[in-house]
Structure 1
Amino acid sequence: MPYYIRKKRKREHIKYSLLLEKDLDRNNFDDITLVHNCLTQVDIDEIDVSTDLNGVKLNNPIIINAMTGGFYRAKIINGELAKIARHLGLAMAVGSQKIALDDPSIVSSFQIVREINPEGIIFANIGSDASVDDAIRAVEMIKADALQIHLNAPQEIVMREGRKNFKGTLDNIQEIIQNVKVPVIVKEVGFGIAMEEAEILVEKGVKIIDIGGAGGTNFIAIENKRRSTNALRSLQSWGIPTPASLIEVVYRVGNRADIICSGGLRNGLDVAKSLALGAKAAAFAGLFLYILLKKGPLALKKYIIRTIRELMFTMAMSGVKNLSELRKRPVIIEGKTYNWVKNRGISI
């Protein structure tokens, strides 16, 4: 596909994600309740929120997830996100680098992240159809600490110019894992991962899974906006809700892979619930992008600081001083998520 078409598409993705973000329905995290601890003995100043993803050490479990890159405005966006990541000590992922692999003139829209945050934790990003050579080049481009391989079949299927043949995806992922020198994260982009597919991924050597559940950025809805006519709106509800996907994946492979929860998280309480359900980290994309572009970098920085504070306050009210202890606290699961889990044969 010509790179100028990809540039246009990336601009449209930003445009329509902003339009949809402001009308985003509440995710299903209201189904999850952390049990209050009236006898907490935690000193908030001693709370430790550090975590680990297959050897990648994170000072904080909140990740700025993959968003963009590949055109001038994306360079500005990535630069601002990198400044915030550096100031707050957050890991950050760039958007799909395929466009830069084909057009060296726009590599700087990705490299700016490493230039601004030379000591930070940065994730490269490619599609599941990328070659091993592409994967290695993507990592080298930004001196990445890990590589995201994104799964976006629904988006590609609905996209007029999208890929329609997904044969060989698993073997391709396995080959990349075997040949790159950094940890590999396999991530969905908003439709969730079921426990059966999580099992297959782990069998192929995947050690980090980002579930990318339904509830946040909806790429079927975005592609429908791009279509303008003949939109496939009946498919916009497709996907596994984030809490349900998280429970499924943790239940099946949580002892063999580190899980990142993403997909519509809104605040520090959602982060705490994700971590209590077994995630090792929690990632934000669309919400952070919306705040950055609508209210500015300072507003986003303040929002993230508040989110971290909410996480720590929730931990204190739960009586835990680190994330390992948080994962041992009792959790109540109700509503649609309870029905989903029950129907899937998972004991809670």
Structure 2
Amino acid sequence: MSKRSRRKMEHIKYSLLLEKKLKRNVFSDITLLHNCLSEVNLDEIDISTNLQNLRLEKPIIINAITGGFSFALAINRELAKIAREFGLAMAVGSQRIAIKDKSAQASFKVVREENPEGLIFANIGADASLEEVAEVVEMINADAVQIHLNTPQEIVMAEGRKCFAGTVDNIKRIAAGVKVPVIVKEVGFGIAREEARMLVDCGVKIIDVGGAGGTDFIAIENRRNRKNAVTTLEGWGIPTPVSLIEVISEIGDRADIIASGGLKTGLDVAKSLALGAKAAGLAGTVLYKLLKGGPVALRKYLRQVERELRYSMAMVGANNLSELRKRPLIITGKTYKWLKFRGIQIKPR
């Protein structure tokens, strides 16, 4: 087994261990305003959405998890089957390994094989060349490509990159030179409004905020390299709802936003969409449910998430996601204080 494959296995191992201790409550400062006069027909609620020219039957994405080794093939096969069954878009994990090791491609190609008509997102780092991006897109006949940002993880990871010069210019080249939609995605540390503005100026039309509150890759790397662990940096980043508000307040409708990072429930998804996200990504809990309870448990979980989303919409009187975004919500606690300090106007709807 290659070092890269072993590293990916260790990421799975430690993410599962940390998931058991993780309290996913990143949206506790956000409250949707109840509508006692809701006239919604629950069976007619429309939860479809769009990411640029991509139509999503449901606003829930099985976000990037893994790929590149034999066990990952089994994981991705099950995820692809479930994505097809539930009508969900799905992203694969970083495909860098499959560029360097062609034998690893099967663990990614299986997603398209199991879900030939579904929405599939390729994935590679922000240092990739245009040729590499084109290769990972072609590998799985992807409908879009995630360009992931993971500077903190790379810095802490013993074998990670330490120089990030040229990242912005490279993203600009990718956005201009790739035929499918480009999604720039953080991996658990969030995006601030300043960088969101830069991304849009680079031509990026879809941003996944990937905020703090879910899988912590600094914590994972600390467990992989205990001798040089930097535990003081665990928890680093911008909380997901804060990042979401920062980005949307800055760029408005110049790009479509995906909320991810610590989301667990359908209510979390509803709050994200009410704040202005076009879709929501789930990853850590999805992996945990699959590996600890099997496909049956994951199916049960995803049905519950969708049910909670629909119930939440009915209780605020929203027939569709556009109406959900117009419903008043209340922001309190640390989130309110953060936004006030940053000078981000919170106008009651």
Instruction: Give the TM-score taking structure 1 as reference length.
Output: 0.99
Q: Which position in structure 2 is the counterpart of 1:104? A: 102
Which residues of structure 2 form unaligned runs of 5+? none
Cα distance in 2, alignment partners of residues 107 and 231 from structure 1? 32
Counterpart residue identity of residue 150, structure 1: H
Q: Which position in structure 2 is the counterpart of 1:14? A: 12
Q: Which digits, 9 at most, give the CA deviation of each residue in 1:105-129, with x for residues without a partner?
A: 1100000000000000000000000
Deviation of 1:163 (Å): 0.1
Cα distance in 2, alignment partners of residues 182 and 229 from structure 1? 42
Write out the 4+ residue segments of structure 1 that deviate beyond 6 Å after TM superposition: none
Counterpart residue identity of residue 6, structure 1: R
Instruction: Confirm whether residue 74 of structure 1 aligns to residue 62 of structure 2.
Output: no
Deviation of 1:5 (Å): 1.2
Instruction: Confirm whether residue 266 of structure 1 aligns to residue 264 of structure 2.
Output: yes
Q: Which position in structure 2 is the counterpart of 1:253? A: 251
Matched residues, percent identical? 68
Q: Which digits, 9 at most, give the CA deviation of each residue in 1:122-142, with x for residues without a partner?
A: 000000001100000000000
Counterpart residue identity of residue 198, structure 1: A
Deviation of 1:266 (Å): 1.1
Counterpart residue identity of residue 199, structure 1: R
Deviation of 1:254 (Å): 2.6
Instruction: Give the TM-score taking structure 2 as reference length.
Output: 0.98
Q: Secondary structure at the match of 1:22?
A: helix
Instruction: Confirm whether residue 285 of structure 1 aligns to residue 283 of structure 2.
Output: yes
Q: Which position in structure 2 is the counterpart of 1:33? A: 31
Q: Which digits, 9 at most, give the CA deviation of each residue in 1:200-243, with x for residues without a partner?
A: 00000000000000000000000000002221000002100011
Which residues of structure 1 form unaligned runs of 5+? none
Which of 47, 51, 54 does residue 53 from structure 1 map onto?
A: 51
Determine if contact 1:27/1:216 at 8 Å carries over to the other structure: no
Q: Secondary structure at the match of 1:143?
A: coil
Q: Secondary structure at the match of 1:147?
A: strand
Q: Which position in structure 2 is the counterpart of 1:116? A: 114
Deviates more, 1:20-29 or 1:34-43: 20-29
Q: Secondary structure at the match of 2:211?
A: coil
Deviation of 1:188 (Å): 0.1
Cα distance in 2, alignment partners of residues 195 and 334 from structure 1? 20
Q: Which position in structure 2 is the counterpart of 1:218? A: 216
Cα distance in 2, alignment partners of residues 283 and 237 from structure 1? 20
Q: Secondary structure at the match of 2:145?
A: strand
Counterpart residue identity of residue 82, structure 1: A
Q: Which digits, 9 at most, give the CA deviation of each residue in 1:28-56, with x for residues without a partner?
A: 20100000000000001110000000111
Cα distance in 1, alignment partners of residues 285 and 254 from structure 2? 30
Q: Which position in structure 2 is the counterpart of 1:159? A: 157
Determine if contact 1:212/1:261 at 8 Å carries over to the other structure: yes
Cα distance in 2, alignment partners of residues 68 and 254 from structure 1? 32
Q: Which digits, 9 at most, give the CA deviation of each residue in 1:240-296, with x for residues without a partner?
A: 001100110011113101000000011000000000000000000111000100000
RMSD: 0.7
Q: Secondary structure at the match of 1:229?
A: helix
Q: Which position in structure 2 is the counterpart of 1:168? A: 166
Instruction: Confirm whether residue 126 of structure 1 aligns to residue 124 of structure 2.
Output: yes
Q: Which position in structure 2 is the counterpart of 1:65? A: 63
Deviation of 1:176 (Å): 1.1
Counterpart residue identity of residue 176, structure 1: I
Cα distance in 2, alignment partners of residues 302 and 85 from structure 1? 13
Cα distance in 1, alignment partners of residues 23 and 246 from structure 2? 22
Q: Which position in structure 2 is the counterpart of 1:314? A: 312
How many aligned positions are there? 346
Q: Secondary structure at the match of 1:345?
A: coil
Deviation of 1:154 (Å): 0.1
Q: Which position in structure 2 is the counterpart of 1:240? A: 238
